[in-house]
Amino acid sequence: MDAEITVTELTADLAPTVVRLCQQALDLPEDAAEAASIVDVLWPRASADRPVVGLGAYRGADLVGVLICSVSSAEPGIGHVDLVAVHSDQRRRGVGRALLQRAERVLAERGVTEVLLAGNPPYYAWPGIDVRYTPAVCAALALGYQQDRTAWNMTADLSYDGSPALRSTEAAQRRLADQGVTVRRAEPADLPALTAFARSTFGGTWDGELAGSVGRADAGCHLAERDGELLGFAAYGSSRPSWFGPMGTAPAAEGSGIGGVLLRRCLRDLRTAGLDRAQIGWVGPVPFYSGSAGARIERVFFLYRKTLPIT
């Protein structure tokens, strides 16, 4: 007979144990390989910005599942389930359900009225549930979550020198230079101007993601400027080492070629770091990434939400 499942709140010193479980429990190799970065961005890094709770499911003394959830810092009353991972031999045995039910109670205690199974920017590891994690989809549906959006990532192939993602930017940069536009790597001193530009031009949480890219190991950012005025940026590594984004170009500079240059400079950095693939996360303009880097849609995510009952 199975031992009863016990769900408890985890302390931050157990993060290495959570990483080890995720390395086993995340079925997709690209997720398992980045388990340490995923736990880091969702737990200690996110905790500096918003309330975060880690939950562990135990059978006896054995940790068999983990969940990380958080409260939105931008939308009052909204909570997010950021990670659920269940040991492979414990699936379909009530572990995921027990973790999600406890997360709902924990979030409700913190004023949450609606729970999203979706990324909580600027600290997130996925837009939602990858459709290939079928047990997670089943658990969400069984607990009354409703799918309300779909998101996707695109993959840029960095594995060979002739990849469209690695096309030279030198000629385009010369053309931009003739127009007075400088393209360069962003430095920490650029961060205040970059975050102000992101907030004023695009809104949202890109300023936070830029703060996680500029000056961090395994991350970086490139920018374009003219006479000291920012025209665009492209960043990578804020949430995960292999993920590109965000990027943005000032409306007045759209169509100038700045975006493609910034994109491919970042992708070349990722290739130099030893990666043979880059994920362009939570993609909007599919044709741009396809044309500029030969990227293709590969990962698809379902995003769910549930209104908590009034107690």
* pTM recorded for the entire structure: 0.93
Assess whether pLDDT exceeds 70 at residue 49.
yes
Mean pLDDT of the 152-165 span: 97
Here the contacts of 25-30 (C-beta below 8 Å, separation 24 or greater) are: 25/65, 25/66, 25/85, 25/86, 25/87, 25/88, 26/85, 27/88, 27/132, 27/133, 28/130, 28/132, 28/133, 30/242, 30/277, 30/279
Can you give the pLDDT at residue 94?
85
Buried b (16+ CB within 10 A) or exposed e, 24-54: ebbeeeebeebbbbbbbbbbebbeebbbbbb
Look over the chain and give the mean of its residue pLDDT values, rounded to a whole number: 95
pLDDT tens string 79-129 = 999 999 999 888 877 899 999 999 999 999 999 999 999 999 999 999 999
Can you give the pLDDT at residue 146?
97
Assess whether pLDDT exceeds 70 at residue 1.
no
